[in-house]
Each structure stands twice: as structure tokens, then as C-alpha cells.
Amino acid sequence: QVHLVESGGGSVQAGGSLRLSCEVSGVTYGTYSTYYMAWFRQAPGKKREGVAAIDIIHAGIYADAVKGRFTISRDNAENTLSLQMNSLKPEDTAMYYCAAGLRAWSLRESAYNYWGQGTQVTVSS
């Protein structure tokens, strides 16, 4: 069973930066490098939404709300996924989740089979 653990969340003022990390373990089918990876977030009272996804050749796609501010990356040697978040805004406040899947490079939840427990990001104005 693939296991994902997020870290790096916290509280920051608007305009600040945070870097989220996700450690992946338990990959028994294929290797970590063959998994599509993504970050999602869910704010209180809102649906979970895709933030960024990265494919097996390290190409990234981003939600319009974070383009130019967030950067997704992966280290296949360390089985880790990262999200560098710059110029944070109060509307970025949410629980952030790491997700892994073999089906598609997508910002849709249905593309991913495995999820972490989340890390909280709070941005104050």
C-alpha cells in the first residue's frame, strides 16, 4: 500500500513563502518515478481542488489561482514531492494534500488512488 506523508505546513503572513513536502513509501507496483503526483487543497466549507500536478517526466500543470506563484517538483531518487509556494495570499489558506496515481496527469481527484493526511497552511493578511 502506497503511503504518503505531508509536512511543511504552517502559518505565514500574506506575501510570504512555504515549502510543502510529501514522502512516499510502500510502492510495490512499479516505482515511484512511474506515478503521477499532485497537490490538492481544501478550505473550510469548500470542495477539495487540484493545485498542481507533475508527470513522470517532471512536467507540471497548475490551477489558474496559483500559476506563477507555486512550483511543483519531485525527486525520484528520494521518493519525495514538493510544492514551493511564494507570494501567499489569505485565500491560499487550506489543508493541503499529496496524492499519487498511475492513471493520468490531472488536477481531478478521480485520477489519484492514494492520499496523504494533509498539512495545514494558514495565511494571514
pLDDT in tens, 22-53: 999 998 878 898 999 999 999 999 999 999 99
Check whether 74 has a pLDDT greater than 90: yes
CB burial class (10 A; 0-12, 13-18, 19+) of residue 40?
A: buried
For residue 103, give every residue at least 6 positions away whose Cβ sits within 8 Å of its Cβ, in sequence order, or none.
36, 111, 112, 113
**Cell representation of residue 11:** 502559518
pLDDT tens per residue, range 75-112? 999 999 999 999 999 999 999 999 999 888 899 999 99
What is the pairing mode between strands 3-7 and 94-101?
unpaired
Supply the pLDDT for residue 28: 83
Give the separation between CA 64 and CA 74, rounded to whole angstroms.
21
HSE-up (13 A, CA, CB side) for residue 36: 19
57: pLDDT strictly greater than 90: no
Phi and psi at residue 124, in whole multiples of 5°?
-100, 150
Residue 92, SS3 per DSSP: helix
Residue 103 pLDDT: 84
b or e along 51-88 (b: 16 or more beta carbons within 10 Å of the residue's beta carbon)? bbbbbbeeebbbbeebeeebbbebeeeebbbbbebeeb
Instruction: Supply φ then ψ for residue 107, to 5 degrees.
Output: -100, 15
